[in-house]
Structure 1
């Protein structure tokens, strides 16, 4: 009976089945790791860990529902939706920069009226910019070298979003800028024009680091990363305990729920969740999680190479690059290969609305994959019908 229900559910989903499996695996890992790491958070809030886990599970279920809806929509509709997203995103980013909620000295969040929830506008900006760039690049292929018609609007959208995200969320802004450059390369933008975009980005970055409201935070984090021996103990507290968690995990880990560093690590359930995973499941557990994201990138690249239209290929490429780059940035910070940032591990960290936006990105990738499968099935049916007609003749 159970197998029949699973088959019925799978029959309603299309697209790359491996990506569906990856999402389910990451969701299960997320629930286990989050439940293990929210003890301190629950104590601080004066609630049970189970209540926080239930809310997290609701977000995961909601994310899977959004992913299902997104994958049912023909990916070509996202070209039109991207314009609306940009119209919504730019004012929201401006509002967030000046009037957003301040946490840890950064204005990144906007409250959703009547829900008690808040979200990072940079999560919406990632979806908006990547879909919009894919639309521009695919529609302007015939005159892609034209500076006025093609290059100026493309460069303007990239630099504008970067300039609005960077002051409060530099790490996310830099990752999104890097993904945009990869899309420009795939979209056949000339090397000279890409160099101009990079130069403009460098000027914006220099301005943020020199005059931005968080310039002290950025320089302090970089100085702490490069010279931890000279840093204030409070500033290396998070990175040191992440390293302790990873080192104490060994090859096979301490076992589920047996982490000790979860009681010391700030944001153990979010930014540093990879360190908790390695502490409890060992190096092999960490490599397994890393392998999932590498396999995700591989499956997405297969979708990109099979996509019949430029828009679908660029859309799948941009979203997959964004997800995997974010994942490896999070893991790099946990193991000490990068300065501390506020980047969560996609679909694993407890992140509220960020899970929903990530799920929509997965859904769009699956929509492109679904279109490829449907075209392949249609082509196969035509071949079969043709062979039948030949035999009948």
Structure 2
């Protein structure tokens, strides 16, 4: 059975290896960092580990399924996703589960699970932009038929996410701009999108429902000496975890700051990893994501179709920017946000959407491998003849 699965597993082998390595790191880190929350719930850390393991296994299964599907089908799926995403984002803002004055989650009926609609929105917007940019290449400078639909989709998704989750919205907006650049949108039009985004950002920062939270976090980051200790509590303990970890770390399961950090298993899991595995462990994580970006760039440059190249570029940029955003916050290079470390942080449906993104990238890489096999087969047939 294992051989059958391996024989049917296509795409970039290095990306498959990266996913397996990140999964193992995630299981170790989550098991170590959930002791406090397990105690608060009156259970053992093993129960959280098993739930996380189930999500990781489900994620890899979804990755396998999505990589088997020809990536060209995602062009049509993107229209359906966008039609679903925007109403879901509106519904989340109005009726979603509220936590820390932010409505980011909606419940999945009958399952007891919740998911962040922004995770679906990332997948929907990137696939939609890749489809639109690839199909409008011949008249890419047409304002009415090309530019306005692209700008409208980016700005609408940005504002709907930003009202509850500014950090995710900014990262998605940045990925969208990168796709516009790759898709040969003119500098003038890209500048217009950036100006529109800046206006929307100013509106969210000054008039949005979470304006006080955003301003407080920026002040705590820019002027930590002038704010109350509770405002910089999370970043202070993340820095303590990193400082006490040293070069080699305290060893697996020996973190102490996991007892003080509010989310050592998700938002600040990178700080927990450095505390236990030292700077060496933190450096290994950085290298893994850099290598992932390198492999994805190779896929982008070799993709035979514009849609595949744009799709792989958008999804890979999204994953790596999110990863480095999470790590930057943990080491004090950015204000506190609620961004998880892709495929490492404990999560529910976020792991599933990340897995689908990996699967789509693998589907694009599979399309690169198959033409090579056809060419080799044709050469052999000619040689035999």
- What range is the shorter-chain TM-score in? over 0.9
Which of residues 290, 293, 298 is equivalent to 1:297?
293
2:331 match: 335
Query: Are residues 1:278 and 2:310 paired?
Result: no
RMSD over equivalenced CA pairs, Å: 0.8
Q: Following TM superposition, by how much is the alpha carbon of 1:9 offset from its aligned partner in structure 2, in angstroms?
A: 3.2
CA distance in 1, matches of 2:305, 2:5: 29
Query: Are residues 1:172 and 2:144 paired?
Result: no
Deviations 1:28-56 (A, max 9, x none): 00000000000111111122111111000
1:106 match: 102
Q: Following TM superposition, by how much is the alpha carbon of 1:387 offset from its aligned partner in structure 2, in angstroms?
A: 3.2
Deviations 1:130-166 (A, max 9, x none): 0000000000000001111100000000001001000
2:341 match: 345
Q: Following TM superposition, by how much is the alpha carbon of 1:7 offset from its aligned partner in structure 2, in angstroms?
A: 4.3
Q: Is the partner of 2:122 in helix, strand or coil?
A: helix
CA distance in 2, matches of 1:293, 1:189: 28
2:59 match: 63
Q: How many residues align?
A: 385
2:31 match: 35
2:368 match: 372
2:354 match: 358
Query: Are residues 1:308 and 2:304 paired?
Result: yes
Q: Following TM superposition, by how much is the alpha carbon of 1:190 offset from its aligned partner in structure 2, in angstroms?
A: 0.2
Query: Are residues 1:161 and 2:154 paired?
Result: no
Deviations 1:170-201 (A, max 9, x none): 00000000000000000000000000000000
2:77 match: 81
After TM superposition, list the pairs within 5 Å mapping 1:213-292 onto structure 2. Answer: 213-292=209-288
Q: Is the partner of 1:107 in helix, strand or coil?
A: strand
Q: Following TM superposition, by how much is the alpha carbon of 1:362 offset from its aligned partner in structure 2, in angstroms?
A: 0.2
CA distance in 2, matches of 1:32, 1:359: 19
Q: Following TM superposition, by how much is the alpha carbon of 1:99 offset from its aligned partner in structure 2, in angstroms?
A: 1.1
Q: Is the partner of 2:139 in helix, strand or coil?
A: coil
Q: Unaligned 5+ residue runs, structure 1?
A: none
Q: Is the partner of 1:337 in helix, strand or coil?
A: coil
Query: Are residues 1:118 and 2:117 paired?
Result: no
Q: Is the partner of 1:142 in helix, strand or coil?
A: helix
CA distance in 1, matches of 2:244, 2:206: 39
Moved over 3 A (4+): 5-9
CA distance in 1, matches of 2:108, 2:360: 24
Which of residues 361, 378, 382 is equivalent to 1:382?
378
Q: Is the partner of 2:9 in helix, strand or coil?
A: coil
Query: Are residues 1:128 and 2:124 paired?
Result: yes
CA distance in 2, matches of 1:380, 1:138: 29
2:314 match: 318
Which one is further off, 375-384 or 209-218?
375-384
Q: Following TM superposition, by how much is the alpha carbon of 1:261 offset from its aligned partner in structure 2, in angstroms?
A: 0.4
Q: Following TM superposition, by how much is the alpha carbon of 1:12 offset from its aligned partner in structure 2, in angstroms?
A: 1.8
1:205 match: 201
Q: Is the partner of 1:102 in helix, strand or coil?
A: strand
After TM superposition, list the pairs within 5 Å mapping 1:84-95 onto structure 2. Answer: 84-95=80-91
CA distance in 1, matches of 2:101, 2:32: 28
Deviations 1:47-93 (A, max 9, x none): 21111110000000000000000000000000000000001100000
2:187 match: 191
Deviations 1:286-339 (A, max 9, x none): 000110000000000010011000000000000000000000000000000000
Q: Following TM superposition, by how much is the alpha carbon of 1:6 offset from its aligned partner in structure 2, in angstroms?
A: 5.1
Q: Unaligned 5+ residue runs, structure 2?
A: none
Deviations 1:329-360 (A, max 9, x none): 00000000000000000000001110000000
Deviations 1:75-127 (A, max 9, x none): 00000000000011000000011111111111100000111100000000000
CA distance in 2, matches of 1:301, 1:7: 29
Q: Is the partner of 2:104 in helix, strand or coil?
A: strand
Q: TM-score, with normalisation over the residues of structure 1?
A: 0.97
CA distance in 2, matches of 1:10, 1:286: 31
CA distance in 2, matches of 1:106, 1:376: 49
